[in-house]
Amino acid sequence: MMKPIPKALPLLLGLGLALAQPSLEQAEALLKAGNYAQAALAYEEVLARDYGRLEAHLGLGVALFRAGRLEEARFAFDQMVRVFPERYEGHFNLGQVYLRLGKPQEAAGAFAKAAELSPSEEAYLGWASALAQAGQAKEAAEALKKGLTPERSPAYRLALAQALYAAGARAEAVPVLYGLLNRDPKAAEAWDLLARILAEEGLKARALRELDRGLALVEGKARARLLLRKALLSPSPEPLLREAYALDPSLWEAAYLLGRARLEAGDPRGALAFLLPAYRTSPEPEVALALAGAYLALKDYPNAYRYADEAGPSGLFLKAQAARALGRRVEALELLEGVNALEAQAFKGSILLEMGRAEEALGVLRTAYTAQKSPEVGVNLGASLLALGRFGEAELVLREILQAAPRMAAAWYNLGLALKALGREAEAQRALTQAANLGSAEAKALLRR
């Protein structure tokens, strides 16, 4: 938050001048009333008469900041630190403005100067926050270590532990967390981070014991975070996730994990009951990806496409699948250009085959089949060979598939077509009959001719 405006000093102005021009008290009253634009104008008037008024510089910056005029607020506080370089408020508020402007390096410099002038907790926290946003996790931790004193609050100590963890100094964070919990045993975030570190250090059993200690002390919604952490370390997470979600419905991670479990269990509609609230609370890419998968399973292709798009790069394959189902094969192929996974390449081959581009399909499918020997990919490989008139090669591939998956109707059907094209009618008839018995509508239709 912005530093509050100090109480204005009595003005040494004549009565007539005070009536004709805005006073500092009037500017402050406008600011307190939320009339930021008029307050800014009033502070400007005061500064035009006396550019050495600390309160007017401070008030102008605050008014502009609250009005959302960030560049103007930056200039106002920059002017303040030039006129009053030894005043803490100007440097601190300048750091806040730089953070809002998305300039964390400049913010870090302003907060560092503020901390130098007055080693307050808020200055060090601001400094560390700016460094973290600038991607300097180690420097953020060092700033907080520099500002650590015995009287620092639990919030400061938690920030230090979090910064150390982000900097990769997990072991160093542990004594900070235990010291914090000795002072504030109900600090749920500290128990959570401690258990996370212990688990990552290979001490899973100890992490679970510490979580149980925390759960015995922490009350209310704060318990939900500890239950979630315990679920992540447990072989039977669902009851813990449900308890956590019931305690705190805003805990999107619990809802997401419950939804993903339902999806993996083959219940996409049940998954939506958890995934949709999770996405409304926090539209994370992994939640969007799970939603896309659920809608694809339900054949709701417009929604599958929408959420796959929301998932970003991780959703390209699902987005391509939805695009194909919506009849947009060219778009699906374009989407798959950025995906190198074998599954995606096999899917690309099947689309090329559908579009009559058998030669291109053959190259893609052969590579995918050689790498994985998937029967589903092999069937399409056989189909591409059939389309190109390479019946002998198709027979070899399809017989190899049927050794691994003897009840694959599509493989028997394609084998029947290959044998028929090779003039081996009796063998073709047997293969087509087998395909029909396994449910191939195409084989049944061909046999009725």
Cα–Cα distance measured from residue 246 to residue 250, given in angstroms and rounded to the nearest whole number: 9
CATH code of residue 253: 1.25.40.10
Q: Flag whether pLDDT at 47 surpasses 90.
A: yes
Q: Flag whether pLDDT at 372 surpasses 60.
A: yes
Q: Note whether residue 410 is domain-resident.
A: yes
Cα–Cα distance measured from residue 247 to residue 251, given in angstroms and rounded to the nearest whole number: 9
Asked if residue 362 and residue 335 are part of one domain, the reply reads: no
Q: Which range of residues forms the domain containing residue 272?
A: 249-339
Asked if residue 414 and residue 363 are part of one domain, the reply reads: yes
Boundary of a domain, candidates 288, 308, 339? 339
Say which residues have a Cβ less than 8 Å from residue 312's Cβ, sequence separation at least 6: 285, 288
Cα–Cα distance measured from residue 348 to residue 386, given in angstroms and rounded to the nearest whole number: 18
Asked if residue 398 and residue 368 are part of one domain, the reply reads: yes
Q: Flag whether pLDDT at 186 surpasses 70.
A: yes
Q: Note whether residue 193 is domain-resident.
A: no
pLDDT band at 339, cuts 50/70/90?
A: confident
> What does the pLDDT read at residue 21?
61
Cα–Cα distance measured from residue 236 to residue 230, given in angstroms and rounded to the nearest whole number: 10
pLDDT tens for each residue of 18-30: 334 679 999 999 9
The whole-number average pLDDT for the span 216-240 is 96
pLDDT over 70 for what percent of the chain? 95
> What does the pLDDT read at residue 3?
45
**How many domains does one find in the chain?**
2
- How much is the pTM? 0.78
Q: Flag whether pLDDT at 2 surpasses 90.
A: no
Residue-averaged pLDDT of the chain: 92
Q: Flag whether pLDDT at 12 surpasses 70.
A: no
Q: Flag whether pLDDT at 194 surpasses 80.
A: yes
> What does the pLDDT read at residue 157?
96
Q: Note whether residue 117 is domain-resident.
A: no
Cα–Cα distance measured from residue 103 to residue 164, given in angstroms and rounded to the nearest whole number: 23
Answer for the pair 228, 251: CB distance below 8 angstroms, yes or no.
yes
Q: Interhelix angle for 223-232 vs 188-200, to 10°?
A: 10
pLDDT tens for each residue of 321-333: 999 999 999 999 9
Asked if residue 449 and residue 361 are part of one domain, the reply reads: yes
The whole-number average pLDDT for the span 157-179 is 97
For tokens 């060219």, the residue is 330
Cα–Cα distance measured from residue 135 to residue 140, given in angstroms and rounded to the nearest whole number: 9
Cα–Cα distance measured from residue 193 to residue 96, given in angstroms and rounded to the nearest whole number: 27
Beta strands in 170-247 (DSSP E): none
Q: Flag whether pLDDT at 70 surpasses 90.
A: yes
Q: Note whether residue 91 is domain-resident.
A: no
pLDDT band at 132, cuts 50/70/90?
A: very high
Of residues 328, 326, 367, the one with CA closest to residue 344? 367
Asked if residue 449 and residue 381 are part of one domain, the reply reads: yes
pLDDT band at 338, cuts 50/70/90?
A: confident
For tokens 């200690």, the residue is 213
pLDDT band at 106, cuts 50/70/90?
A: very high
Asked if residue 366 and residue 311 are part of one domain, the reply reads: no
Cα–Cα distance measured from residue 177 to residue 184, given in angstroms and rounded to the nearest whole number: 10
The whole-number average pLDDT for the span 259-276 is 96
Asked if residue 361 and residue 299 are part of one domain, the reply reads: no
Q: Note whether residue 275 is domain-resident.
A: yes
Asked if residue 331 and residue 368 are part of one domain, the reply reads: no
Q: Note whether residue 365 is domain-resident.
A: yes
Q: Note whether residue 62 is domain-resident.
A: no
> What does the pLDDT read at residue 10?
30
Answer for the pair 272, 303: CB distance below 8 angstroms, yes or no.
no
Per the model's pLDDT, the better-predicted residue between 16 and 365 turns out to be 365
Q: Note whether residue 434 is domain-resident.
A: yes
Q: Flag whether pLDDT at 5 surpasses 60.
A: no
Copy the structure tokens of residue 59: 């008030």
The whole-number average pLDDT for the span 150-175 is 96
The least confident of 8-12, 268-272, 444-448 is 8-12
Asked if residue 442 and residue 389 are part of one domain, the reply reads: yes
> What does the pLDDT read at residue 22?
74
If you write DSSP's letter for every residue of 251-309 in order, what string do you get? -HHHHHHHHHHHHHTT-HHHHHHHHHHHHHH---HHHHHHHHHHHHHTT-HHHHHHHHH
Of residues 230, 193, 190, the one with CA closest to residue 209? 230
The whole-number average pLDDT for the span 186-213 is 97
> What does the pLDDT read at residue 448?
81
Cα–Cα distance measured from residue 321 to residue 329, given in angstroms and rounded to the nearest whole number: 9
> What does the pLDDT read at residue 351?
95
What are φ and ψ of residue 69, in 5° steps? -95, 75
